[in-house]
Amino acid sequence: MQQLSMGIVGYGAIGRKHAASLLSDATPRLTLGGVVIRRPEQQAAFRAEHPDIPVFSTAEELYRSGAVEAVLLATPHREHPPEAEAAFAAGLHVLTEKPAGVSVRQAEGLLALAKKAGKVYGIMYNQRTDPLYQAIRQMVQSGELGTLRRVTWIVTHWYRSQAYHNSSPWHSTWAGEGGGVLLNQSIHQLDLWQWMFGMPASVRAAASFGKYRDIEVEDEVSALLFYDSGLTGHYITSTGEVPGSNRLEIACSMGKLVAEDGKLTFWKTDIPEEQFNRTNREPFGAPSYTKTEIPVSTAPNGHVAILNNFADAVLDGAPLLAPGEEATCALTLANAMLQSAWTGENVSLSPFDSLAYDALLAEKVRSGRL
């Protein structure tokens, strides 16, 4: 079997998780060709457990070694762009943890570099592999739901205590992380949002910064998303609620679709609402509907699925589940929501003024703690 040698840059919690996957039978077309570990004590521990796998102190050493054909970037957010740039320059394929950077301009720059290098460039948006969201996307694209009218997503299951924020100096700071719940936790749902429903024309958001914890960045956001089609979206996220919710509700001309607790329920009207409205003569009449639990596959998904797909893309030319070309979409939503919260204004996404956002973020960095 043809295999791809992959290196991991960054050996924190997520880097260790990815290393374990590459060392297991779950990723048969990938081998762990080397790791970048900066702390000497962690280097020693890794070498003791895996004496045959090269350990490097810097990413540059790994890139020059010839030991790998691809790298997985598991470093802090702000390090993703420069590390990816260096990897592309060294002729390596790149899979980066989310997000691709802290701003849209960074993501756009990486895409240009990947195209110039002619290398495969993917993002670890692992929740795209979840059969639940794949089923919703298929229903939207097939037209089964009719016209989308309202989408409301409550994403408050990303609870984080003060101990989490204190666990690393780069966490929850403008200089280190570039944002809070939007950039670090619910960026997955923002990616899924645009993947399933497309990009809105504008957003309006309110946010709280350090509401629940002693941090700089946003830990609660409520946003309105406006589409040219008339669709209105509501996005609510927080890291301070227990128990949190993960409820996605889609109101459409064919009824209502709800995803919650791993289940997908469809209240399907017998006829489209528009058709009912044209013919109904009863003042309090309403379309009849049928409630159905839609079965969702329990096929394996998650990080491993993205890793295996990336190997197939490099070795066989298979399409990526989460290509770098789409890295800007979730970042645009996150950046626009923050910009709206800072300015108190609606923010257009067509086009999004990334230069204005970068200027606002730079000011937050200058006044921050790091």
> How do the domains of the chain map onto residue ranges?
4-125+302-322, 128-299+330-366
Polymer length in residues for the chain? 370
Confidence at residue 353, expressed as pLDDT on a 0 to 100 scale: 94
Buried b (16+ CB within 10 A) or exposed e, 36-72: bbeeeeebeebeeeeeebbbbeebeebbeeebbbbbb
Q: Report helix, strand or coil for 267.
A: strand
As a whole number, the mean pLDDT across the chain is 95
How would residue 59 be classed by pLDDT, with cut points 50, 70 and 90? very high
Q: Residue 276's pLDDT band (boundaries 50, 70, 90)?
A: very high
Q: Which tokens is 224 given?
A: 């309105």
- The region, left, alpha or beta by phi > 0 then psi within -120 to 50, assigned to residue 363 is alpha
**pLDDT, tens digit, 9 for 90 and up, residues 94-104:** 999 999 888 89
CATH of region 128-299+330-366, choose from 3.30.360.10, 3.40.1190.20, 3.50.50.60, 3.30.70.2860: 3.30.360.10
**Residue 355 pLDDT exceeds 90:** yes
What's the mean pLDDT in 101-112?
88
The pLDDT score that the predictor gives to residue 78 is 83
Taking alpha carbons only, the member of 240, 252, 251, 243 closest to residue 152 is: 251
Contact indicator for 303, 310 with CB cutoff of 8 Å: no
Q: Is 359 helix (H, G, I), strand (E, B) or coil?
A: helix
- Whole-Å CA distances, 211 to 184, 252, 260: 17, 34, 26
Fold (CATH) for 4-125+302-322 = Rossmann fold (3.40.50)
Q: Full-prediction pTM beyond 0.85?
A: yes
pLDDT at 370 over 70: no
Reply yes or no on whether the pLDDT at 72 is more than 70: yes
Q: Looking at per-residue confidence, does 62 or 327 come out higher?
A: 62
Mean pLDDT of all residues in 254-271: 97
Which tens digit of pLDDT belongs to each residue from 41-53?
A: 999 999 999 999 9
Distance set, CA 90 to CA 1, 69, 101, 128, 272 (Å) = 26, 10, 20, 29, 55
